[in-house]
Amino acid sequence: MSAQVIGTPGEVPSWSAREEGSRMEKRHRRATSHVSADDRRMGRRQGISFLLGFLLFLGCFGVYFASQTDYVQKSWLYPYPYRETVEHYARTYGVDSSLAAGVIHAESRFKSDAQSHRGAVGLMQLMPDTAEWIAGQVDNDYHCSLAKLQEPDTNIRYGIWYLASLQREFDGNDILALAAYNAGRGNVQEWMTQYGWQQDFNSVESIPYAETREYVTRVLKYQQKYKTLYAPHSEGFLSASAK
């Protein structure tokens, strides 16, 4: 069977062949154009992502750097309203004022109208029945109204006196005193008996209550912050006589 000759070398392609070739070339150009456009879009996306990531890094670095300045820390992170009152009663009752400030920061963040769901009131989050007992010890008056307890001066005075009494009870051990401030002196005495803790106890992680462990850790951290930021007036006053 003889083969049909389609064309010979040098023969001019027919119109249909030229059209088909033109269409194929256009499809090739379109495909190449789409790939190039996709590459350009991908490149732009990568460039924008890199730029945003770089700006985010700069922003985070700037925030971190700003947060380390004394001005930001004093104004926003560790403010110290009622400082004179805190330092006055810290001197009066023989408590490190930085420790007292740390307790207030942990308890209420210096909000005088703070009230917990358990009923604790004021800057140092005193329970009303505890406040009445303190009033009897300090003022020889076992009545303490809620309005009086919310007064910053009264709340700070009673709270620092109570902290001082816990320090005396636990021989100046701040960890035990803070644990008792949070969980109650009865629980701390029970733990000391149950686990054989001595007055030199210093293992915060051994405190059974997670809330109390976290509380003690936070207050000790805040104490150091207030001591560093407000160093000129925040040295300990343990030599003062306690009432």
Same domain, 53 and 92: no
| pLDDT average, residue stretch 233-237 | 43
Distance, C-alpha 212 to centroid of its chain: 17
The structure tokens listed for 87 are 């330092």
Phi, psi of 126, rounded to the nearest 5 degrees: -90, 140
Which position has the token pair 């009264």? 154
pLDDT of the residue at 31: 58
Same domain, 155 and 201: yes
How many degrees, rounded to 5, is the angle at CA 190 between CA 241 and CA 171? 20
pLDDT of the residue at 44: 74
In a domain, 52, yes or no: yes
Same domain, 61 and 112: no
pLDDT of the residue at 236: 42
Q: Return mean pLDDT, the chain.
A: 83
pLDDT confidence of 14, banded at 50, 70, 90? Answer: low
**For 127-165, how does the pLDDT look when each residue is reduced to its tens digit (9 = 90+)?**
999 999 999 999 988 888 999 999 999 999 999 999 999
Question: Which residue of the set 19, 20, 25, 107 is catalytic?
Answer: 107
Contact criterion met (CB below 8 Å) for 138 and 156:
no
DSSP string, 33-82: HHHHHHHHHHHHHHHHHHHHHHHHHHHHHHHHHHHTSHHHIIIIIS--TT
196 vs 209: CA distance, rounded Å: 17
Phi, psi of 163, rounded to the nearest 5 degrees: -60, -40
Structural domain of residue 63, as residue ranges? 15-68
Could you tell me which residue, 8 or 78, shows the higher pLDDT?
A: 78
Name the residue among 109, 97, 110, 112 with its Cα closest to residue 226.
97
Whether 218 has a pLDDT exceeding 90, the answer reads yes
Same domain, 147 and 228: yes
Burial class (CB in 10 A: 0-12, 13-18, 19+), 213: middle
Lowest pLDDT segment from 23-32, 147-156, 208-217: 23-32
In a domain, 149, yes or no: yes
Domain count, the chain: 2
**For 110-128, how does the pLDDT look when each residue is reduced to its tens digit (9 = 90+)?**
999 999 999 999 999 999 9
Same domain, 96 and 180: yes
Same domain, 137 and 51: no
| pLDDT average, residue stretch 208-237 | 86
Whether 235 has a pLDDT exceeding 50, the answer reads no
pLDDT of the residue at 226: 97
In a domain, 197, yes or no: yes
Same domain, 169 and 201: yes
Same domain, 110 and 159: yes
Same domain, 116 and 226: yes
88 vs 110: CA distance, rounded Å: 16
In a domain, 2, yes or no: no
pLDDT of the residue at 138: 94
100 vs 87: CA distance, rounded Å: 9
Q: Is 7 helix (H, G, I), strand (E, B) or coil?
A: coil
Same domain, 51 and 89: no
Same domain, 197 and 219: yes
- Give yes or no: 87 in active site: no
Same domain, 127 and 193: yes
| pLDDT average, residue stretch 176-199 | 97
* Residue 203 DSSP one-character state: -
In a domain, 213, yes or no: yes
In a domain, 47, yes or no: yes
In a domain, 205, yes or no: yes
pLDDT confidence of 37, banded at 50, 70, 90? Answer: low
| pLDDT average, residue stretch 34-41 | 63
Contact criterion met (CB below 8 Å) for 98 and 223:
yes
Contact criterion met (CB below 8 Å) for 158 and 135:
yes
Among 3-17, 32-46, 65-79, 173-187, top mean pLDDT goes to: 173-187
pLDDT of the residue at 65: 46
Burial class (CB in 10 A: 0-12, 13-18, 19+), 184: middle
Could you tell me which residue, 5 or 113, shows the higher pLDDT?
A: 113
Q: Domain with 219 in it: what CATH number? A: 1.10.530.10
In a domain, 8, yes or no: no
pLDDT of the residue at 231: 79
